[in-house]
Structure formats: C-alpha cells, structure tokens
Amino acid sequence: MELTRLRGFRDLIGADARAMSLVEERARAIFDRYSIKEIRIPVLERTQLYQRSSGETSDIVEKQMYTFTDRDEGETVVALRPEGTPGVVRAYIEAGLDRTDPEQRLFYSGPMFRRERPQKGRYRQFYQFGVEIFGRPDAACDAELLIMIEEFCRDLKVPFTMEINSIGDQKCRPAFREALVKWGRAHWDELDDDCHNRIDRNPLRLLDCKKDAKVTESAPNSLDYLCDECRAHFDTVKELLTGVGIHFVVNPRMVRGLDYYTRTAFEVMAGGLGAQSTVVAGGRYDGLVETMGGAAVAGIGFAIGIDRMALALEAAGVLSAVAPDAAIIAMGPAAMRRATLLARVLRANKMNVEMLSPERKMKTLLARASKIGARYAVIIGDDELARGVVQLRNLKESTQSEVQEVQLGEAARAIAESRTK
C-alpha cells in the first residue's frame, strides 16, 4: 500500500482506542470531583507563543515543533501545538481573567505534536489531559493536585510511583544554575554532546543527561540551594501529602525541561512501560503568566500522557474486553422486522446488543455471535414470531430457554446487571 500513515503517527483500533477513552473518562470524572472546569483551545497557534513560553532552549522549541508559514497576507508562522500550557495561558490572558477573575481551575485534553524519534510510548502525535490552576501560590494547592493525581492512578489500578522535588524560584535558582554550570565544566568529558550544549543554554537539563545516569550522581542538588520561602513551601507540600497517607519519593535530581517551572516539580512513573515510563509530569510556574504579558498571577499544572497511561493499563491487564451482552439473530424478513423492534426494548433496558445480518445461515450467525464475544444470542424465527417468544441462548454455557416477548425487558435488565465491569 502506498498511502500509509506517517512515521510516529498511530491508528488506534478497538481495544487500543478503548484504553485511551477509559483514561479520558476517568480523568474527567476525577476533575469533576476536584471542581476543575474544561477549556478548549486551538490545535494551531503562532509559533512565537511556544518560543515565548517554553523557552528558546527547550527541546520542544529547539527541535520538536511542526511549524510552517501560513498562506495569509502576513505569512504568519504557525505551529501544531506541542503542549497545552502555552495555549491555556494565552487564552486565560486574552479573556482578561488574569485581571477580572484570576483564580481559575482548568483542564484541557487533546492531541499534541512533537517531531521526536518514535519508539514505544513516544509518538509524534500523542494525547494529553492537562490541568492548570491559576491564582493559587499556596502549598495547599500543590498538595491538592498531587493527591488528585494519586487518586487517579489508584483508580486506574496501574502500579505507579510519585516523585517530587523543588527547583527553587527566581531568587534562589540562579545560584543552583551557576553551581550546575561549574559542575558541567568540571565533568565535561563524562557528558555527551547534548549536555555540552546545555551547559550554558539550559544547565538544569544537565540532570537529564541520558548518556549514563551515574554521571549526575555528583551533580549539585537543588534542595541545597533553596531559599527559606521555597524550603518552607516544599516542607508544607510534603507535610500535607504525608498527612493524608500519600507515598512519594523526593528526587532532588528531577528537573523539568521547560524554563517556566518554579518550586514544586513532580513526575509519576507507571510500571510495565520500559524506558518511557513517565505518565504524568508537571509543576509550579509562578512567573509564566507575567512572562506572557499578563498580570503577576501564580500557576501550577501538569499533563497526563494518555497514550502511555493506556499502555500501562494494557500492561497491568486491568482492561476487560468490550463485548456485547447479546447478538440478535433473526431468520427471515418478518423476523427481522420484529427483531428491530425487540432490539430497542433490550437496549432500553440497558443491554448492549448487536443485530446480526438476517441474510446468513443459522450456523454462520451462531459462529459470528461467539466471535464478537456475545454472552447470549437472542434468536427469532418464524415459529417464535408466531408464538410471541424468543429463544435466549447462553453461548458460554450452551443452554437455551424460551422467553415471552412481554418478559423480555425484565430478562434484559437482569443480563445487563450481571455484566462484569
């Protein structure tokens, strides 16, 4: 076939798509419980938006953006969104919320695009659910988000670990940065080319050195550089988490790749994913709204990698196959008409049913019913039609009983309720 999909882009069919939807459904349910409202933002934005917010030296802006010049008069340079936060911040400022109603709890969801090397758990189009909270500089907000994330992962039944750190703020981070630059120069030979580039441009990313995890063991530790305010903030976050029994690991080498983060940074890793195990990542970004031309409003947020979370669900084996409760088998045109009506009765009573083609043989249809995983077959032939009954066949147990049409609703409800979730 010539017209194949692009590298790093995926078609998700059936169970794989279902795993993604499940993650999305559960995320929405949790966000409701935490009073977080939805925001929908465009997929296409000015490239400048990302340059300004993510920082010129982030991987995203340096090499991962799908960007092109639009054919309008101004020849606007636009990009497919590589992440959600810049668009949400832009929308927040553009709606004037930073001045009129700064405290906002928002979530977004949808596809993101990054031109990176495809591998398992790393795609060029992937999906994120993200949360951004504005106007809440307090540590209680950091803790509330982490508690929500923990609840979400527990709800999905995937094994996970949560790591947190504080990377300081504008006041104390310069000293940490400087210490990292000094360390980087002293360990030049142990670092790869990527990291050589980072030393002056984005020294925090030195801690992400992919060459050898051992290298960074001697690197400076962000927690040693925190000012009193940042330390007190981080202590409160930890105390609140401990108080509600949340397990976390403090990882003083964890940094975020984007320039706008301050203070609390966190990541959640899921089991069974191999190298790309981070399924949730985020942190505080108190200076971002102002950097983007808005008021000085605090912010904190995170994104869930839906694709990876779905892979984790599949790896944990917690997904049940979706199959209809029953297949409807109608023999002949008159039975087919009756079956169309009865299918509505079954569905009105919460049964999931699939109507099979009436133009095949009984044997073929029974085989089809098994193939789609139906637990029951509802069979209607001329004889059943004449007597106002159907045959209800339990395909798993190979038993069959006759049910009066008038009692079909009741039978359907019992079958729907016996479905294992």
Residue 161 as a binder of ligand ATP (CB under 6 A): the answer is: no
Q: What angle do CA 270, 50, 127 make, to 5 degrees?
A: 35
Beta bridge partners of 125: 113
Residue 24 as a binder of ligand ATP (CB under 6 A): the answer is: no
How far apart are the C-alpha atoms of 112 and 89, rounded to whole Å? 16
Query: Minimal CA–CA distance to 376: which of 402, 360, 359, 396?
Result: 396
Find the part of the chain contacting ligand ATP (CB under 6 A) among 117-125, 209-217, 286-294, 340-348: 117-125
What residue number has its CB nearest to ligand ATP?
305
- 116 vs 405, beta carbon nearer ligand ATP: 116
For the bound state, the minimum distance from the C-beta of residue 66 to ligand ATP, rounded and expressed in Å, comes to 12
- 114 vs 375, beta carbon nearer ligand ATP: 114
Residue 126 as a binder of ligand ATP (CB under 6 A): the answer is: yes
For the bound state, the minimum distance from the C-beta of residue 126 to ligand ATP, rounded and expressed in Å, comes to 3
Spatial CB neighbours of 235, under 8 Å, sequence gap ≥ 6 = none
Residues 270-289 close enough to bind ligand ATP by CB under 6 A: 276, 278-279, 281
First-last CA distance in the chain: 39
DSSP 372-400: TT-SEEEEE-HHHHHHTEEEEEETTTTEE
Residue 301 Cα distances to 148, 156, 329, 415, angstroms = 12, 20, 51, 43
For the bound state, the minimum distance from the C-beta of residue 281 to ligand ATP, rounded and expressed in Å, comes to 4
For the bound state, the minimum distance from the C-beta of residue 90 to ligand ATP, rounded and expressed in Å, comes to 17
For the bound state, the minimum distance from the C-beta of residue 85 to ligand ATP, rounded and expressed in Å, comes to 9
Residues 294-323 close enough to bind ligand ATP by CB under 6 A: 303, 305, 307-308
- 148 vs 281, beta carbon nearer ligand ATP: 281
Among 116, 190, 354, 405, binds ligand ATP (CB under 6 A): 116
How far apart are the C-alpha atoms of 264 and 246, rounded to whole Å? 16
For the bound state, the minimum distance from the C-beta of residue 52 to ligand ATP, rounded and expressed in Å, comes to 17
Residues 83-102 close enough to bind ligand ATP by CB under 6 A: 83
- 3-state SS class at 368: helix
Burial of 1 (0-12, 13-18, 19+ CB in 10 A): exposed
The conformational region for residue 207 under phi > 0 = left, psi -120 to 50 = alpha, else beta, is alpha
Rg (CA), the chain: 27
Residue 194 as a binder of ligand ATP (CB under 6 A): the answer is: no
Cβ neighbours of 73 (radius 10 Å): 6
Residues 234-273 close enough to bind ligand ATP by CB under 6 A: 257
Find the part of the chain contacting ligand ATP (CB under 6 A) among 70-78, 121-129, 227-235, 352-360: 121-129
Find the part of the chain contacting ligand ATP (CB under 6 A) among 122-130, 151-159, 160-168, 340-348: 122-130
For the bound state, the minimum distance from the C-beta of residue 284 to ligand ATP, rounded and expressed in Å, comes to 14
Query: Minimal CA–CA distance to 152: which of 102, 92, 107, 111?
Result: 107
Residue 114 as a binder of ligand ATP (CB under 6 A): the answer is: yes
Residues 45-84 close enough to bind ligand ATP by CB under 6 A: 83
Among 122, 231, 368, 413, binds ligand ATP (CB under 6 A): 122
For residues 23 and 156, the answer to whether their CB atoms sit within 8 Å is yes
How far apart are the C-alpha atoms of 47 and 267, rounded to whole Å? 27
What residues make contact with ligand ATP under the rule CB under 6 A? 83, 114, 116, 121-123, 126, 128, 257, 276, 278-279, 281, 303, 305, 307-308
